[in-house]
Amino acid sequence: RYRLFKEASASEQWLEILEGLPEYTGMRLAGYKPYECAEIIHQKSAKMNSFVRSFAYLTGPAYGLLLDEAKPMWRKELTLKSHLDLILKSSQRKPNVVSLIRARKHTFRYEGATIMLEEQLRAKSRRMAIKSFKKDLIEGPVLWFPKGKCMVTFDPQTQIPLDRDRFVFPEAQVIGAFGRLKTTSGLLIVRKTWQPCVKAPLETVSGREIEGPGWSLILNEGWQIVPGDRKGDFWIQHRE
């Protein structure tokens, strides 16, 4: 898989270290036996709709259990840059040679056909969502939040990258000095500034409790919505 997707190794490695290993540690500290951990991992995987950003909660403990058996002192060589798969591979006296053809032959053991179909449907749905969010939140008018510290609550499994600079959470909540917003119609975030925006209100609005297309906003005292630089855009701004 890493041969097909060159960037996957680096992007997945840090999730396995930062999310997967704490999951493994929790299981071990709870006193679960290896077979009990394996059952927990299996049960969790069956409940997941997607492995996007959540796979490490499965692979981290799985690698940890395999390494406990194959290389008991493996934790002493861990760093933030460690690759659990490479540590496990180094513990094998005769590493297996993996080929794409051989990997495909083994997919039936892991419901490969079902997974492929699910991923194809998910990819189609994702393309449609990206097209829709680009139309609404990039090409169309938006309501921008003020730059600065905002606390954003979201489900990380639902994150949809639009390009290198922007991504969307379909549902989210934003809390800041301006007030509070809840949306079910998409929240776009600019990576560098972490500045969010939502679809613009359909007309000029006033007051502190405001309803927009798929979102609701409660402004704190002293804040208001004003027209933006681009036609149809708005900003949340503090009154001078």
Token digits for 139? 């090409």
CA–CA separation, 201 vs 183, rounded Å?
Answer: 12
Q: Residue 97's pLDDT is what?
A: 66
pLDDT at 161 over 80: yes
pLDDT at 50 over 80: no
State mean pLDDT over 69-82: 92
Residue 201: name the closest of 153, 235, 167, 229 by CA: 235
CB atoms within 10 A of CB 236: 22
107-141 pLDDT, tens digit each: 877 788 888 888 899 889 989 999 999 999 999 99
Q: Residue 5's pLDDT is what?
A: 79
Q: Residue 71's pLDDT is what?
A: 92
State mean pLDDT over 86-109: 78
DSSP-derived letter for residue 182 is E
Residue 24: name the closest of 93, 95, 100, 87 by CA: 87
Q: Residue 95's pLDDT is what?
A: 61
Residue 187: name the closest of 225, 237, 144 by CA: 144
pLDDT at 176 over 70: yes
8-47 pLDDT, tens digit each: 888 889 889 999 999 999 999 999 999 999 999 999 888 8
pLDDT at 170 over 80: yes
* pTM score over 0.75: no
Q: Residue 192's pLDDT is what?
A: 85
- How many helices (H) and strands (E) would you count in the chain? 7, 12
